[in-house]
């Protein structure tokens, strides 16, 4: 009853107003022997034996040698959990009278799909090493690890170390689903069906080295066919809707994780433009607005020592105008350039439109 009520509340809200290294050179021939000392005449002169230094042994790189460490952090993503046993997705007319239907999807299936999409999204940004799912599942099974939500950070730290990860991501799918609504056009008597739906996910990012929670958050994304009729074919199909929700949420989660672990920062301040330290693959797009914050010393919790914040007050708002492979350029749209310094953190004001609202 509780699950149904939660989904109904989500659906009402949705439908009510949302829219090599090179080899060292080998010597071609042994070096010439040192000149011999003249031997005085004797009946049996003996010529000295020249000493030839050994040729240096070339160091051949191992073909499969690992890349230098320290360049990219290693992330392990623990399979997300479903907070509900099932999630309801609406379908089109299911009766001769044109009533809307619905289909139930097991919570485990929804959570698994969301986990898969998140792994793929984080791998795609090419800024982290992501531990493969088989390894994660094997270690979880060996440790008898059943749940990640509500588990003490110390236990998660132990798990992260077993996996060889620098960061651990855990989370849950709190709400997901769609609902169909029959709408009758009075003038023509024409019957049409509108769909709305969304997904809500909670997540935590744990720093395995320090044991601190690097980030915690809840993301909600909703869509509706009334302002976005092009989504009718997606939201009217439970399978298509789930795939769409999982993909879009994975993109949003990836940006949130990147913002916590590897935030966008000011790389240079040029005449007429601000250079950012990240480019393609970071989720930046032309037209995106970011807040720029004053650079300050980290503020720590006096009891735990955990970093509470590293950003001061907002000093400006910038707009991305160009995105390249490794950097982006932006212009100031409000605030003063005098407060923008190299190393200052930037936070997106909002996600690109295709992430939903």
CATH number at residue 99: 3.40.50.10610
Domain boundary at 261, 280, 295, which? 261
Question: Would residue 43 count as lying in a domain?
Answer: no
Q: Are residues 6 and 141 in the same domain?
A: yes
Task: Report the range of poorest mean pLDDT among 19-23, 146-150, 223-227, 322-326.
Answer: 19-23
> Residues 30, 50: contact at Cβ < 8 Å?
no
Question: Would residue 90 count as lying in a domain?
Answer: yes
pLDDT above 50: residue 294:
yes
Q: Are residues 247 and 333 in the same domain?
A: no
Per the structure, the complete domain to which residue 328 belongs is given by 264-355
Q: How many domains does the chain have?
A: 2
Q: Are residues 256 and 278 in the same domain?
A: no
Find the farthest-apart pair of alpha carbons in the chain and give their distance in angstroms, rounded.
133
Q: Are residues 293 and 240 in the same domain?
A: no
User: In this predicted model, what pLDDT tens digit does every residue of 182-232 receive, in sequence order?
Assistant: 888 777 777 888 999 999 999 999 999 988 888 888 999 999 999 999 999
- 149 pLDDT band, cuts 50/70/90, is low
Question: Would residue 29 count as lying in a domain?
Answer: no
Question: Would residue 26 count as lying in a domain?
Answer: no
- pTM here is 0.68
Q: Are residues 182 and 223 in the same domain?
A: yes
- 13 pLDDT band, cuts 50/70/90, is very low
- 275 pLDDT band, cuts 50/70/90, is very high
H or E element, residue 197: strand 190-207
Domain boundary at 206, 228, 261, which? 261
Q: Are residues 128 and 256 in the same domain?
A: yes
Q: Are residues 236 and 268 in the same domain?
A: no
Question: Would residue 59 count as lying in a domain?
Answer: no
> Residues 135, 42: contact at Cβ < 8 Å?
no
Q: Are residues 252 and 289 in the same domain?
A: no
Residue 272, helix vs strand vs coil = coil
Task: Report the range of poorest mean pLDDT among 2-16, 70-84, 110-124, 130-144.
Answer: 2-16
At residue 184, the pLDDT reads 81
Mean pLDDT of 231-247: 95
Nearest 10 degrees: Cα torsion 233, 234, 237, 238: -170
State both tokens at 2: 């509780």
Q: Is the model more confident about 329 or about 25?
A: 329
Q: Is the model more confident about 97 or about 9?
A: 97
Domain boundary at 261, 286, 320, which? 261
Q: Are residues 207 and 346 in the same domain?
A: no
Q: Is the model more confident about 188 or about 336?
A: 336
CATH number at residue 279: 2.40.10.410
pLDDT above 70: residue 33:
no
- 249 pLDDT band, cuts 50/70/90, is very high
Question: Would residue 33 count as lying in a domain?
Answer: no
- 44 pLDDT band, cuts 50/70/90, is very low
Question: Would residue 47 count as lying in a domain?
Answer: no
At residue 306, the pLDDT reads 61
Report the distance separating Cα 215 and Cα 206, nearest Å: 7
Mean pLDDT of 104-128: 94
Q: Are residues 114 and 222 in the same domain?
A: yes
Q: Are residues 90 and 228 in the same domain?
A: yes
- CA-based nearest residue to 216, from 160, 282, 261: 261
At residue 307, the pLDDT reads 63
Question: Would residue 284 count as lying in a domain?
Answer: yes
Q: Are residues 226 and 289 in the same domain?
A: no
User: In this predicted model, what pLDDT tens digit does every residue of 60-97 receive, in sequence order?
Assistant: 333 333 333 445 889 999 999 999 999 999 998 777 77
């Amino acid at each position: 009853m509780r699950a149904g009520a939660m989904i109904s509340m989500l659906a009402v809200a949705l439908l009510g107003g949302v829219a090599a290294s090179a080899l060292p050179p080998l010597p071609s021939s042994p070096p010439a022997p040192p000149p011999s000392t003249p031997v005085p005449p004797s009946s049996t002169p003996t010529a000295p034996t020249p000493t030839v230094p050994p040729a240096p042994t070339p160091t051949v790189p191992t073909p499969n040698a690992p890349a230098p460490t320290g360049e990219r952090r290693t992330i392990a993503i623990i399979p997300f959990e479903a907070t509900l046993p099932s999630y309801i997705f609406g379908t089109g007319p299911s009766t001769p009278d044109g009533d809307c239907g619905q289909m139930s999807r097991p919570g485990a299936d929804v959570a698994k799909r969301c986990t898969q999409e998140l792994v793929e999204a984080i791998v795609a940004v090419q800024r982290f090493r992501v531990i493969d799912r088989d390894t994660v599942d094997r270690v979880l099974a060996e440790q008898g690890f059943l749940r990640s939500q509500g588990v003490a950070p110390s236990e998660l730290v132990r798990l992260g170390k077993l996996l060889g990860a620098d960061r651990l991501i855990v989370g849950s799918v709190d709400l997901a689903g769609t609902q169909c609504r029959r709408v009758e056009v009075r003038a023509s008597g024409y019957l049409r069906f509108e769909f709305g739906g969304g997904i809500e996910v909670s997540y935590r990012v744990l720093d395995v080295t320090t044991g601190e929670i690097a980030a915690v958050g809840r993301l909600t994304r909703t869509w509706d066919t009334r302002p976005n009729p092009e989504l009718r074919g997606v939201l009217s199909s439970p399978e298509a809707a789930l795939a769409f929700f999982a993909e879009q949420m994975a993109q949003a989660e990836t940006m949130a994780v990147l913002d916590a672990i590897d935030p966008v920062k000011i790389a240079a301040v040029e005449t007429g433009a601000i250079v950012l330290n990240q480019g393609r693959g970071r989720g930046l797009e032309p037209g995106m607005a970011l807040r720029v914050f004053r650079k300050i010393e980290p503020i720590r919790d006096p009891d735990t020592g955990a970093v509470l914040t590293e950003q001061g007050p907002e000093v400006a708002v910038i707009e991305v105008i160009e995105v390249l492979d490794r950097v982006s350029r932006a212009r100031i749209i409000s605030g003063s350039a005098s407060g923008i310094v190299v190393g200052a953190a930037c936070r997106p004001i909002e996600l690109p439109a295709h992430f939903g609202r």
